[in-house]
Amino acid sequence: MSAEPCLHDVEYISILLREYDASYRYIDVRGKVVLDIGADFGTSAFWFIAQGAQKVIAYDTYQNRIVHPKIEWHGKWNGEFVPADVLKIDCEGCECLASPSFFEKYSEAYIAIHEFAPCFNSLFPYLNSTCHKIFVTEDGKETMFLCRK
């Protein structure tokens, strides 16, 4: 998407919520702190709160964001480790800033890998062999995995 999505773009939000229901439903966030890398304008963070997350540490560059007392906003993620119980990373290429050892630091890690990402050929085989494939976008360009300790 070339332009920043709008908070009142109902069709866009509806598409996101359907994707979340299909893929994030496997993640148990009740009472947990979620690290949400690629939080968009807060739809995924808000979805995690609605599912019972204690707090969401959200990273994204959008300026127009959902404001909620349980969402702690940060800008662009630079690959650093952030303490949390659950990791969700879906940021169209920034998955390459993380290594398999980074994912293993979390009790549950939801990782979306994009076909165009420079690390696709190295990261996809690791995720495919050690994690559960839980969702593939309709166009097949994004695959979501759930890794558990």
Residue 79 or 92, more confident: 79
Name the band, by pLDDT with cuts 50, 70 and 90, for residue 3: low
pLDDT at 13: 78
Count of C-beta atoms within a 10 Å radius of residue 85: 17
pTM: 0.89
- Closest to 57 in 3D by CA, of 1, 106, 114: 106
What's residue 21's pLDDT? 81
Q: Which band of pLDDT confidence, cut at 50, 70 and 90, is reported for residue 34? A: very high
Rounded to the nearest integer, the mean pLDDT of the chain is: 89
State residue 8's pLDDT score.
62
92-114 per-position pLDDT tens digit: 889 999 989 999 999 999 999 99
For position 2, what pLDDT does the model report? 44
Which secondary-structure segment (H or E) carries 19? Answer: helix 10-23
Name the amino acid, one letter, at 149: K
Say which residue, 140 or 5, is predicted with more confidence.
Answer: 140
How many other β-carbons are positioned within 10 Å of the β-carbon of residue 33? 18
What is the reported pLDDT for 113?
95
Which pLDDT does position 7 carry in this prediction?
Answer: 56
pLDDT given for residue 19 in this prediction: 79
